Amino acid sequence: MTPPRDPHGIGVSFPCARSLAQLACDFGGDTTQPHVLVDNVAAPKYANHRSLVPIFRASALKNLRDAAAVLVSPELVDKAHGYAPWRHPFAQFALAHLLTTLAPQRHPPTRSPHAIIENGVALGKDVTIGHGAVILAGAVLGDACIIEPRAVIYGSVRLGQRVLIGAGAVIGRPGFGWASGPDRQRIRMPQLGGVEIEDDVEVGPLATVDAGTLKPTRLRKGCKLDAHVHVGHNVEVGQYTLVAAQSGFAGSATIGNHVLIGGQVGVADHVTVGDCTKIAGKSGVIGPIPAQSVVAGYPAVSRLRWLRAVATLMRGRS
């Protein structure tokens, strides 16, 4: 089932027209033109005279040709003059709630007959398991978890409630740990600590989360991992942290709460990243990062310092 399309453009239609006053009442915010009606939500380029258009940055206004109203943060209201404003201090959050009400409802929880669920798996209520998924004996899945097709859950994994494991993800495989001995021999270090994933975590497709050695690898409540993210053994990712695609965390790294991590970031082993830090895409973190930092580059340093260094380098080449 697909979302309802706006027949006059490319957007998502409402079941019936709604006033800005109704939207503000249901989702928060305020408006100076409460009686304006909208019947769809659309991107600036595809909007029509009945559209509600979300505007999260001033540059998006250059593509706006027609709209009934705009959803904006307070600092953008003056720049979006000429359109009825629905002003909201958390405009993206409001849009997410609105689209959630318009999205197709998920099918009732199902367990595919083509999934492999070994004896000894503990399943909570309303768990959904997709085609080709593999869940090994000993795994524990909390209520309302969703395991997408071809995901693999090893036996040492414990999932909280409402955890989503993306298609093809692998959770709980033994981590990449080796011990050196005489004559440069190497033997695998057993990884017996498992994985603990708390409530409301999302692990993207083809991501991997390795089992810990003596303690669990942990994904704390509400954190979100994009596709192709790798979490090494003994790593801890904090609450509500967001990690973009293709980032990786080496063994025993600790990532704080509410951290924002761009795509293709690498974090070295045993490094600690403080709470509320922002790490720019393609950065390489090889040392501790204090809380509330904004860093970029390799090695990752203050973003302003990195920008100055890049500017100096480019001047030297001109």
* Residues 237 and 129 placed together within one structural domain of the fold: yes
* Residue that finishes a domain, picked among 57, 76, 102: 102
Instruction: Give me the chain's average pLDDT, please.
Output: 93
Domain assignment present for 6: no
Check residue 80 and give its pLDDT.
Answer: 85
Cα angle vertex 291, ends 285, 294, to 5°? 60
Q: Mark whether 26 and 73 lie in a shared domain.
A: yes
CATH number for 59 = 3.40.1390.10
Is residue 107 assigned to a domain? no
- The enclosing H or E element of 15 equals strand 11-19
Same domain, 182 and 246: yes
- pTM equals 0.87
Domain limits for position 50: 11-102
Domain count of the chain?
Answer: 2
What is the rounded CA–CA span in Å between residue 4 and residue 12? 6
Q: Which of 45, 67, 102 is the last residue of a domain?
A: 102
The answer to whether residues 51 and 96 belong to one domain is: yes
Q: Is residue 318 part of a domain?
A: no
Q: Are residues 209 and 267 in the same domain?
A: yes
298 and 279 Cβ atoms separated by less than 8 Å:
no
What are the backbone dihedrals phi and psi of residue 78, each rounded to the nearest 5 degrees, phi first?
-65, -30
Query: Phi and psi of 260, rounded to 5°?
Result: -110, 120
Q: What is the tens place of the pLDDT at every residue in 72-127?
A: 999 999 888 889 999 999 999 999 999 999 888 777 888 999 999 999 999 999 99
Residue 1's pLDDT is what?
47
Residue 109's contacts (CB-CB under 8 Å, 6 or more residues apart) are 126, 127, 128, 144
Specify the higher pLDDT residue, 109 or 33. Answer: 33
Considering the domain architecture, whether residues 247 and 136 belong to the same structural domain is answered as yes
* Tens-digit pLDDT profile for residues 116-159: 999 999 999 999 999 999 999 999 999 999 999 999 999 999 99
Contact indicator for 246, 252 with CB cutoff of 8 Å: no
pLDDT at 122: 96
Reported as a single tens digit per residue, the pLDDT across 183-207 is: 889 999 999 999 999 999 999 999 9
For residues 180 and 289, state if they share a domain. Answer: yes
**pLDDT surpassing 50 at residue 169:** yes
Round to whole Å and give the CA distance between 26 and 24: 6
Give the pLDDT confidence of 224-268 residue by residue, as tens digits: 999 999 999 999 999 999 999 999 999 999 999 999 999 999 999
- Reduced to 3 states (helix: H, G, I; strand: E, B; else coil), residue 32 is coil
Q: Which of 75, 102, 129 is the last residue of a domain?
A: 102
Structure tokens at 146: 């969703």
Banded model confidence at residue 317, pLDDT cuts 50, 70, 90:
low
Indicate which residue of 88, 228, 230, 233 is catalytic.
233
Asked whether residue 63 falls in the same domain as residue 204, the answer is no
pLDDT of 315: 81
**Whether residues 26 and 166 fall in one domain:** no
93 lies in the same domain as 183: no
Q: What is the CATH number of the domain that holds 157?
A: 2.160.10.10
The answer on 174 and 251 residing in a single domain is yes
CA distance 309 to 293: 18
- Evaluate whether residue 111 is within a structural domain: no
pLDDT band of 2, cuts 50, 70, 90: low
Mean pLDDT of 61-67: 89
Which two structure tokens, joined as six digits, stand for 193?
A: 């600590």
* 120 is a domain residue: yes
Catalytic residue flag (residue 233): yes
How far is 41 from 51, CA to CA, in rounded Å? 5
